[in-house]
Structure 1
Amino acid sequence: MEMPTCTSISSKEKENLNSGKLGKRKRGLKPRSKRNRKRKRGGVGIPEVNGNGQSEYHVQIDVLPLAVTHHSIATRMKQDRCQVIGQESIESASAPNISAKRVRVVRPYPFTYATFAKQRWVNRKIIDVYNDEFGSYPKSYYESAIRDGRILVSGMKVACDYEIKGQDELTHTVHRHEPVVAVCDAIEISVEASSSESKVDTSCGSGSSTKFPLVRVVHEDEEVVVVDKPATIPVHPSGGYNFNSLCHILAEQDSSLEGCLFNVHRLDRLTSGLTIVAKSTEAARILGKCVQDRSHCHKVYLARVKGKFPMDAESNVQGKALFRSFELGHDTVNLSVSPCIYGEWNENVKSDFRKVADAKPEGGQVDCDQEMLVSGELTNSNQQATDDSNTATCSWITNSKGMIKNDASLKDIFNSRLDVGKLSQNGDSADEATLWLNLAVPCEVACHKNGICRAGKGKPAQTSFAVVSYDEKTNSTVVVAKPQTGRTHQIRLHLQYLCHPIANDPNYGGELFFGDEEGRKMSVVARSQMNEYDRILDDQCIRPEDATSVDTPATDMEVAHAGAHMKLEGESVLEFIQRSCVWCARTKGEDRIVLEFLVRSSGIWLHALQYSLIGPKGKVCYKTMSPNWSL
């Protein structure tokens, strides 16, 4: 019998062929397009608990008035003769602007995370992958989880030194704790009401008469739902958020939307405002392309920043270099067209201006004390050059018609005012005298693990800013921002680059409770109460000091304490996971999770106000209300 002709085979395969053993060749990692994607990415959800392919676990979700929750906690702690909230703080919590605030609480539930093996994991030990790639637990936890079968490979238990293969699917079953998120405010709620009596009906589906939707709908038709997203809600499940994400909340609010919501674009979790969600994959694909069309999609944001914008833009070395190049460039070239288009140099601008704009400041490199620390790495804050010579770093001033104003100054921009109520669909001011500061500075993700970004290097990015109002009491300015490109955290980075960070954005130069003394007091009280919980409920507190349930990774001591729980005879894996949960031990009951919300950021002063785009049905413009902090 003639042997078949084979090409590109190994010596081992040749031996098998010669001996008549036609064994199967090993298969490598399949392309993503050919992998089995029947399950949702990022997890298979709540695991089966009855063995019949059906989940019997019901996830409890509550919407709680924030003020009532505070009052009930304070009252109970007084009864227990513990150190409690002072009378002044209780009265503060019952103020009208607090009593209307509500939060959505998802009670802990079993959940199985699942992921296909990534290329960089292949041939690595499973314990090393979990320890290096996932930061919620220490190595000791992952070792015990692999041994106990909480972490499986393609449904099978493996040893800690198992080497991952290209076709493996890794699953990890946990007791999932989601952070609390804010939803739309309700009317004033009496703090004398009990917590159970004050739960708000959130069934906002068709035919519902509820007054208080979780998320306010701006526009809805057969193709899209356009909403005003509250800050703290992520657009899609990510990190610790699953049911407390926008699409899940909208589906709860209107049951007819369940299973037919698809993201068109993303908005940062801490950013509020206009968010477009499609009702079909086809609509999401078409609208997604419309949003990416820079020439036909115009986005308008509101932000509240520190200082007299943009007067502080020259207060550091990078600003002085940026605006000196602006002035010198205009001495060399009297601009008649924008020097940049979507963050890249306009080829019509003379090379003389580009040379001046790219030039380093006098004296060469900046001193070490002028460098800034970003995600653990020192980066030269005056770095102007990028890998792409066409990527621009410069600024220029225009009026509302886009005409270059060569003789305008930063002070002129501050003295100029824009009326938000008279914005055109393109985001331009009706007053031609309104001045805009246009900034082109590249941006990049500095650390993928924690999502921190930086400006000065990376992909081309461009934003235009105009002044709306100035508050002398807080020394802060409300500005309109029009991003011409869509880089991650672009507006936040560009404002930080100009030395006018968003006032309450702690990640990029702001202060967590800037101008919010009430919020700061409530945060102090909440943290004090959490520490009091630890003192009362733990003889030996093993929880990290000032840690919130999901913000701080579990420690070896916490894992060891949880590991002291032995699996009981007849106890299921899910029951054991819940009983020995590290996060349950840390949160100490349902009230603590609301307290944890109060010590985190309740959102930054950045709001998506208006989106205009050309879609399948022509030009549309969606606009939502201005937030209270901008009025």
Structure 2
Amino acid sequence: MSLVPVPPRTVTPIKTTPKLTPPPPVITTPCDPLPDPYYIGDGLRRVKPYHFTYNTHCKERWRGRTLVDIFAEEFRDRSQEYYADSISRGLIVINGKVATPATVIKNGDVISHTLHRHEPPITASPIAIVHEDADLLVINKPASIPVHPAGRYNHNSVVEILRSQYANAFNPSPCNRLDRLTSGVMFIGKHRAASERVATEIRARTVRKEYVARVVGEFPEGEIVCEKPILQISPKLGLNRVRANGKTARTVFKRLAYYPPCEDGADGQPRDGPADLPWRALRGYSIVRCMPLTGRTHQIRVHLQFLGHPIANDPIYCNQRVFGPALAAGESGGEDDEDVITRLGRMGKEEVAEAVAYHDEIVDGYQKRRGEKMTGEKCDVCGTELYSDPAPHELGIYLHARKYADEAGRWAYETELPAWALPPPGVAGPTEPTPETDPLAVDLAALGVEVDGDTEATVKESKAATAAAAIV
């Protein structure tokens, strides 16, 4: 077959310039000078209220909904009346233009909300440095401090506090995350390469982690493995529970110490938690070392609750007002999920005595001890309902990330035991971790734990079931 040459065609260039839709305008935050936003008092780190503007692009689920409906449903920390008034006053606008509560949001809209921001106080305890070099900070994060700015917290976060302490010499980049109420070891990259390197190691599960917890009751001795899957029940409330259709989750536990009950409180230990509960005082408590083999949200807290030994001052998973007298020990069904979500959602805003009539005395005790709650007062500047200061027992839970260690033995960073894990005054007990109770030294193969190429552990069902039955 012969090839036939084709003469080139003349192409006329398009002379018109395509029209590009400019992005919608947004609002900038009014200038509130904050050279040093922090001040310390009563053992708390505080931030003076300041104006701040949130700019949020329209989410898919917001399309076709009214402006006031979106705020009332998605941002429930304030009343619908507050949002309607803010829209009418021009504090909430769309694409830089005044809107009405009935304005319908469409794709591409940018919502700007300027408010007088009130950050909750956090502990004044300093962020201790475990290790520092040119690339990395290893810190001991105090409980009560969130890692990133989120929700009601901005300046009162690990990232912003470190940025302030180092005079903006670097942009802190956390490599791992701890819950706000949890304390312990965290890795902070000083530059992107260091942060990505450490984060990759952690994600690859070549790093073993040890947590320490103080739990209700006499935790069994020996190696206890819990492999119950965990499902997120309420993303908004951060509630997770053991469910058969949840994600794989496995934790190894070893008891460090058990301190029997002391009915008259002569052990010198404060009865921390949502209330001064007699059932806790009568059961005593244990110090437990924990090694999570997977990284599910609230994994240790949920597994300990399922095993019948929740963290002693956990405001969620050790709360009878939410889960009832048995605290959901051994439960894996979802029959009461809606009731649990409702009760948990009302905590901190109103009491739920009508939902827990079976332990009114506990509710009364909680009211006397609870610190952070709505006071009935309002801010003179913005009318925001004000909260009282949190009580000391509300600044954290008895869960501490004590040690991170590379599997190959190249490095390890650890802290001492927290004060709440030490023996009560006048009582004998371990003041430091012992080799016999080290979960990182557990022979997983001997327990029936097989580790695949992704370092995900597969625990034999019979082994976990036996442990759970013995504990519950």
Partner of 1:159: 100
Using the size of structure 2 for normalisation, the TM-score is 0.65
Instruction: Give the structure 1 partner of residue 233 of structure 2.
Output: 446
SS in 2 for 1:145: helix
Quick one: which of 609, 612, 631 aligns to 2:405? Answer: 612
CA shift, 1:173, in A, is 0.9
After superposition, residues 169-180 of structure 1 pair within 5 angstroms as 169-180=110-121
Aligned to 2:175: 264
The 1-side partners of 2:87 and 2:414 are apart by 50
CA distance in 2, matches of 1:480, 1:61: 35
Kept after mapping to 2: 8 A contact 1:153/1:168: yes
Which one-letter code corresponds to 1:299 in the other structure?
K
> In the superposition, relative to structure 1, how do residues 291 and 63 fare at CA in structure 2: closer, same or farther (>3 Å)?
same
Residues of 2 paired with 1:548 and 1:477: CA distance? 24
Q: Is the 8 A contact 1:463 1:494 kept in 2?
A: yes
Aligned to 1:625: 416
Give the 3-state SS of the residue equivalent to 1:582 in structure 2: coil
Shift of 1:467: 0.8
State whether structure 2 residue 300 is matched by structure 1 residue 509. no
Deviation at 1:107, TM superposition (A): 1.3
Aligned to 1:123: 64
How far 1:450 moved relative to its partner?
A: 1.3
Distance 1:546 1:141 in 2: 30
Residues 226 and 274 in structure 1, CA contact (< 8 A), matched pair in contact too? yes
Matched, 1:228 2:140: yes
1:494 and 1:436 map into 2 onto residues whose CA distance is 14
Structure 1 partner of 2:159: 247
Q: Which amino acid aligns with 2:411?
A: V
Distance 2:134 2:148 in 1: 21
Q: Which residue of 2 aligns with 1:586?
A: 386
Match of 1:463 among 251, 255, 258: 251
> Deviation of residue 57 (structure 1)?
5.2
Quote how far apart the aligned CAs of 1:284 are: 1.9
The residue that corresponds to 1:301 in the other structure is: 211
Residue 133 (structure 1) shift: 0.6
* Alignment CA distance shift 1:287-1:24 (3 Å): same
Tell me which of 24, 41, 47 is aligned to 2:29. Answer: 47
TM-score using structure 1 length: 0.50
Q: Partner amino acid for 2:118? A: H
Greater share of residues in strand:
2
Quickly say closer, same or farther: Cα 1:469–1:57, change in 2 above 3 A.
Answer: closer
1:134 to 64, 72, 75: 75
The gaps in structure 1 that reach 5 residues or longer are 1-21, 28-34, 50-54, 67-101, 185-213, 311-413, 415-434, 513-526, 528-544, 563-577, 588-592
One-letter code of the match for 2:186?
T
Residue among 179, 182, 198 paired with 1:287: 198
For residues 470 and 599 of structure 1, the distance between their equivalents in structure 2, rounded to whole angstroms, comes to 24
Deviation at 1:121, TM superposition (A): 0.9
Q: 1:468–1:480: 8 Å Cα contact kept in structure 2?
A: yes
| Matching residue of 1:329 | none
- Structure with higher helix content: 1
The percentage of aligned residue pairs carrying the same residue is: 35
Show CA shifts across 1:57-76 (max 9, x none).
55642122x3xxxxxxxxxx
Q: 1:605/1:218 Cα in 2 relative to 1: closer, same or farther (>3 Å)?
A: same
Report the counterpart of residue 290 of structure 2 in structure 1. 481
Residue type of the alignment partner of 2:59: K
Match of 1:216 among 109, 125, 128: 128
- Residue identity in the other structure for 1:468: L
Deviation at 1:253, TM superposition (A): 2.3
Match of 2:186 in 1: 275
CA distance in 1 between counterparts of 2:227 and 2:190 reads 35
Equivalent residue number for residue 223 of structure 2: 436
Q: C-alpha offsets along residues 280-306 of structure 1, whole Å, 9 cap, x if unaligned?
A: 223222221211112x11000000111
Residues 147, 600 of structure 1: alpha-carbon distance in 2 compared, 3 angstrom cutoff? farther
Describe the superposition over 1:247-273 as per-residue Cα deviations: whole angstroms up to 9, x where unpaired. 111222222545x11121110111111
Q: In structure 1, what is the Cα distance between the partners aligned to 2:102 and 2:418?
A: 53
Task: Decide whether aligned partners of structure 1 residues 550 and 242 sit closer, same or farther in structure 2, where only a CA change above 3 A counts.
Answer: farther
Deviation, 1:24, is 7.3
**Residue 104 of structure 1: aligned partner:** 45
In the TM superposition, what whole-angstrom CA distance separates every residue of 1:437-462 from its partner, at most 9, and x where no partner exists?
A: 11101112211111111112411000
* Residue-by-residue CA offset, 1:480-514 (whole Å, 9 max, x unaligned): 100000000000000000000011112002589xx
Q: Please tell me whether the aligned partners of residues 116 and 381 of structure 2 are also in contact (alpha carbons under 8 angstroms).
A: no
Indicate if the aligned counterparts of 2:215 and 2:309 stay in contact, CA closer than 8 A. Answer: yes
The alignment status of 1:602 with 2:395, answered yes or no, reads: yes
Q: What CA distance in whole angstroms lies between the structure 1 residues aligned with 2:70 and 2:393?
A: 30
Q: Is residue 138–residue 186 contact of structure 2 (8 Å, CA) maintained in 1? A: yes
Please give the alpha-carbon distance, in whole angstroms, between the structure 2 residues aligned to 1:284 and 1:454. Answer: 31
Q: For 2:386, give the aligned amino acid.
A: R
Mapped partners of 1:450, 1:104: distance in 2: 25
Name 1:389's counterpart in structure 2. none
